Amino acid sequence: MADKKTVENKDAEAMPFEEALEMVEQIIERIESGQIGLEDSIQAYERGVKLIKRCRNVLDLAELRVRDITEQLNSDEQASASQ
């Protein structure tokens, strides 16, 4: 895995889902443990919000793909049944 600074500086929009989720978990852990001061906590929170938006976007797109695949499967099954 990339070092911590590289991952923190990586653009949230380009980050894979799993990596973004892991970063959110790390941010929560750091804030809750008191490892960082107030200003750093606010910056980390801001970063976490961007990462959460990324995760939600990826999940929304995945849900759309699953719906499309399911609809295609259902229409294929209906076409086969009517023959």
Q: Measure Cα distances from 6 to 31, 63, 77 in Å.
A: 19, 30, 48
Check residue 1 and give its pLDDT.
42
Does residue 47 contact residue 24 with C-beta atoms inside 8 Å? no
Check residue 8 and give its pLDDT.
55
Residues with Cβ < 8 Å from 41, sequence gap 6 or more?
31
Tokens 């990826």 -> residue = 58
Check residue 9 and give its pLDDT.
57
pTM for the predicted model, two decimal places? 0.76
d(CA 49, CA 51): 5
Check residue 43 and give its pLDDT.
96
